[in-house]
Every structure is written in C-alpha cells, then in structure tokens.
C-alpha cells in the first residue's frame, strides 16, 4: 500500500513538474542480439535507464524478424538454471533494468529470415509510460555476447 501511494505521488510530481506532460522517457543502451543458433529463437540483451522519478514498465517488444517476443528471467539462484516467461519488467525510478546473459533477456520467437552476425534489426520496445521506443540492434556471435557480458560485469564491479 505504501508503495502504491509513493508511485501515485511520484506520478503527480512528474505531471506537475513537466507542465502536464505525463509521458516519461527512458534510455536504451548496450543493446545487442545473439546470432541465432536454431531456427526458432534469438536472445536480445539491453539496458534501460530510467532518468525520471517514476518507475516505468517494459511491457512488450516487436520486431519485423520475429513472430513474437517473450521476456525470460532466471528463477531463483542456485545450481540450476531455470528460466521462466514473465509478462513485464519494471524499470525503477532513477534506476536500471538490465537484460543480460544468464539473467533476464528478450527472446524473439519463431524467426523469419534468420539474422546473422553483422546484421542489424529494428526492435520496438513498449513501455507503459514512455511508450514505444525503436532501437537498432546489432547481431553478434555468442562468443561476442559472452565477452560483452564480461566487460559489462567488470565495468560495474
């Protein structure tokens, strides 16, 4: 209940402070897709920075190259890697949502023409407040996916 009130307050502040503007905005960084290794799916990784005082929510994604996109996240911690599909992911106020190898990621399902490393594709992310945001996604090999994840992990250490 406390949390709900705080969200309401935050929304109010944003609405007033921006002269009635109710849309938020988010920045998408470090976006890349893994070159698919089967005909059904491709993983997309990205970071979302929410500079506003109100949380936002990633509620969907579309791309011309796939029939559908799912959000996957790892269930619990421990020796087993179990992923599950989730309908949405929150981007905290003044915080990050990170989609990264071994954690949450976007799964593009049932691919059209299979993208290969070096290609780029359009991806439209749908946020509850910020609305749709389209980004260009470079496709890289899994070898590069692994190295990028390592570099990002080092940078945050």
Partner 1 sequence: MQRFLLSIVAVLAVACAPADRSDAEADAGGNPYGLRGRVLAEALPMPDVVFTDTDGRAYDLRRETDGYLTLLFFGYTHCPDVCPIHMANIGAVVRTLRPSVAARIKVLFVTTDPARDTPERIRTWLDNFDSSFIGLTGDTAAIATAQRALWLPPSQLGPADSTGNYLVGHAAAVVAFTPDRLARVMYPFGIRQADWAHDLPKLLEIQWSGS
Residues of the shown chain interacting with partner 1 in the complex, contacts defined by CB under 8 A:
34, 37-38, 40-43, 68, 70, 72, 75, 78-85, 101-102, 105, 107, 109-110, 141-143, 145-147, 149-150, 153
Sequence-distant (6+) residues with CB within 8 A of 59 are: 87, 88, 126, 127, 128
Residue 65: which region, alpha, beta or left (left: phi > 0; alpha: psi -120 to 50)? alpha
CB nearer to partner 1: pick between 14 and 63: 63
Contact 97, 68 (CB under 8 A): no
Q: Which is nearer to partner 1, 89 or 146 (CB)?
A: 146
Least distance between partner 1 and beta carbon 89 (Å): 15
Distances (CA, A) of 122 to 7, 52, 63: 32, 25, 6
Q: Least Å distance between CB 74 and partner 1?
A: 9
Shortest distance, CB of residue 150 to partner 1, whole angstroms?
Answer: 5
> Shortest distance, CB of residue 153 to partner 1, whole angstroms?
8
CB nearer to partner 1: give 92 or 103: 103
Three-state DSSP at 2 gives: helix
């Amino acid at each position: 209940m406390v949390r709900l009130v705080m969200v309401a307050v935050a929304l109010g502040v944003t609405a007033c402070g921006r002269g009635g503007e109710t849309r938020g905005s988010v920045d998408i960084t470090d976006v890349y897709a893994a070159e698919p290794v089967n005909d059904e799916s491709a993983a997309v990784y990205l970071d979302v920075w929410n500079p506003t005082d109100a949380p936002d929510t990633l509620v969907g994604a579309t791309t011309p190259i796939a029939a559908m996109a799912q959000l996957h996240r790892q269930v619990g911690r421990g020796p087993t890697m179990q992923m599950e599909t989730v309908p949405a992911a929150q981007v905290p106020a003044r915080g990050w949502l990170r989609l990264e190898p071994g954690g949450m990621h976007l799964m593009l399902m049932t691919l059209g023409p299979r993208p290969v490393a070096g290609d780029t594709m359009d991806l439209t992310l749908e946020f509850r407040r910020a609305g749709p945001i389209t980004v260009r996604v470079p496709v890289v090999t899994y070898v590069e996916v692994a190295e990028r994840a390592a570099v990002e992990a080092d940078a945050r250490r």
